[in-house]
Amino acid sequence: MSKTLKATQVDKCNGCELCSLEAQRQLKKVGLEESLIRIFRKKGKDPQTLVNSVEIDPRLNMLNIDKICEICPTSVLEIVDEVENQAK
C-alpha cells in the first residue's frame, strides 16, 4: 500500500519551515517557490501569538517523505497509508 505524509499534530508546528526547505532541497533548489509543503502563519486568538497551519500538495509523494517527516523537530508530520488518509 502506498504511503503519504500527513500533518497529524499541526498544533505542535513551530513554523520553522524545515520541512518546506527539505522538500525543496530534494528538488535541488533553495527557496519556497512551488514548494510542495507550505507553512502558513496567522494571528492567534491571544495577543502577540501566532498559529501555524500546514498544507501538503499530494505530489509530495514523489519525494522522499521519510526524510521530510524526520526533519520536523516537533513530530507534526506522520507517514500514513494513502487509503487511510483519503478516508479521513
Task: Give the DSSP per-residue string, 64-76.
Answer: -HHHHHHH-TT--
Q: Does 15 bind another protein (CB under 8 A)?
A: yes
Restricting to residues 21-40, name those near another protein by CB under 8 A: 21, 24-25, 28-33, 35, 38-40
Judged by CB under 8 A, the number of residues near another protein is 32
CA distance 42 to 29: 26
CA distance 49 to 4: 31
Give me the phi and psi of 71, to 5 degrees please. -75, -15
Q: Does 57 bind another protein (CB under 8 A)?
A: no
Q: Does 58 bind another protein (CB under 8 A)?
A: no
Of 10 and 32, which CB lies nearer to another protein in the complex structure? 32
Of 57 and 84, which CB lies nearer to another protein in the complex structure? 57
